[in-house]
Amino acid sequence: MSQVVAPLPSLMDPAVQSCPYPLYQRLRAEQPVYRMPETGFYVVTRYDDVRRVLQDTENFSNAGPRPSGELQGGTMAIHHRMLAERGWTPVDTLQRSDPPAHTRYRKLVNRVFTPRRVNSDLRPRIEAITEELVDSFAGRGSCEFVSEFAILLPGLVMTEQMGLDRSQVTTFREWVDALLAPKMFPLTEDEMVTVTELALTAQHHFAAVIEERRRRPTQDLISALANAHVEGGEEPLTMNELQDLIHQLIAGGFETTATAIAHGMWLLLRNPDQLELLRSDLDRYLPGFVEETLRVESPAQGLTRRTTRDVELAGTVIPEGSVVIVRYGAANHDETHFADPERFDITRDNLSTHLAFGKGAHFCVGAALARAEIDTAFRALLTRLDDIRLARPLPDPPHRPNLLLMAFKEMYLEFRPADPA
């Protein structure tokens, strides 16, 4: 009698998006290049295949039509029309372009987020913001960790680096959600109008800041981008290019690092042995904790590419023009590369090989900043708080619906202030 194989769960199901690892395991074994029936996207799940896609920009391009068109169907026309009539339509910059065009944009932001600058210039400010946030709830004995800390730390750091008003950080987060929404989950026509109105509000705010920085430059990232041609002798970036760059930078600065910080706390609460080990010697074990958190719960579970020609990968021919999702979260759980991949182990010996920040030309420009923020966050939290525990169960599912990211809805914690040394 033949064995009945259970149908594959849908990656469009919010419950599966919140815990995709059993599906990833099946896909790696059964269909390592899997065509999603709901969207036609091809999902790549094995470590070696993901690396190949990430490093092959000739066949797997970041440029070209954005996958939100296939994800949203006809409602995407609403978004495009509203932006064309009242704002700035998207152009391909940074993570949405390939070399050599990508190189120009990358150079503009690379110098801001180099490991040397992050550790020498930015870390003192990261530490100050971290202490400020912990001060706000440490004595209270409880907090909603996502909104009171995980989002605010990277959000405030990026807001200050961009030269924006830190008092508006919550508003900026709402704009980030709106800017990302069309490529993250299907929207109704009314929802598309709502998120596009917010995107337009964000665009006009940033346009006013850009024009002000052109007249009166300051020492911030928007000034550097708006006036980049002064030093390089190149054509100035257009408003469309600047809008797209700012969109990517604030989205990366807010969302992915916030997700990593929240998952780091969740992993420690679920693995008390690793929490005890980490507390025993922060200097020794924090670097491994940061990398293992990024591996086990990759903040961006996947990002997209588009094939420039018919390509064969793992025995599957992917037609030209197809959307390919390189699934970092699946690659980082590949049992052929990471022994016992579901185990959270901050002493794992090949942690530096995870793909949470990508690989190749599009390796995350903010990787050094994200690592510094996660390290600083947990150095402060574990020094100043003891007996950390969930104050209430997490929602079911605990993450917001999203095809590419895994952002927590909420995480209520209780604790007691650590005894002074």
pLDDT at residue 71 is higher than 70: yes
Q: Is residue 391 within 8 Å of 246, Cβ to Cβ? A: no
| Ordered domains of the chain (ranges, CATH) | 14-417 (1.10.630.10)
Q: Is residue 387 within 8 Å of 235, Cβ to Cβ? A: no
pLDDT, tens only, 344-397: 999 999 999 999 999 888 888 888 999 999 999 999 999 999 999 999 999 999
pLDDT, tens only, 266-275: 999 999 999 9
- Residues in the chain, total: 421
Q: Residues of the chain with pLDDT > 90: what percent? A: 71
Where does 257-327 have alpha helices with state H?
Answer: 257-270, 272-280, 282-296
Return all residues near 123 (Cβ < 8 A) that are at least 6 apart.
Answer: 372, 376
Among 139, 136, 133, residue whose Cα is nearest residue 261: 133
pLDDT, tens only, 98-142: 888 888 888 877 776 777 878 888 899 999 999 999 999 999 999
Where is pLDDT greater, at 396 or 234? Answer: 396
Q: What Å distances lie between residue 68 and 46, 74, 79, 256, CA to CA? A: 24, 10, 10, 19
pLDDT, tens only, 382-415: 999 999 999 999 999 999 999 999 999 999 999 9
Burial readout 6-25 (b: 16 or more C-beta within 10 A, e: otherwise): eeeeebbeeebbbebbebbb
Mean pLDDT confidence for 29-34 = 97
Q: What is the Cα–Cα distance from 338 to 351, expressed in whole angstroms? A: 9
Q: Residues of the chain with pLDDT > 70: what percent? A: 97
Q: Is residue 289 within 8 Å of 346, Cβ to Cβ? A: yes
pTM surpassing 0.85?
yes
Q: Which residue in the block uniquely carries the two structure tokens 């069309």? A: 182
Q: Is residue 136 within 8 Å of 385, Cβ to Cβ? A: no
pLDDT at residue 265 is higher than 90: yes
Q: Which residue in the block uniquely carries the two structure tokens 């420009």? A: 365
State the pLDDT at residue 68: 82
Q: What is the Cα–Cα distance from 366 to 337, expressed in whole angstroms? A: 25
Return all residues near 127 (Cβ < 8 A) that are at least 6 apart.
Answer: 376, 380
Mean pLDDT confidence for 236-262 = 90
Return all residues near 145 (Cβ < 8 A) that are at least 6 apart.
Answer: 262, 265, 411, 412, 413
User: Helix 272-280 vs helix 367-384: angle between axes, to the nearest 10 degrees?
Assistant: 90
Mean pLDDT confidence for 82-105 = 86
State the pLDDT at residue 233: 56
Nearest 10 degrees: Cα torsion 313, 365, 237, 196: 70
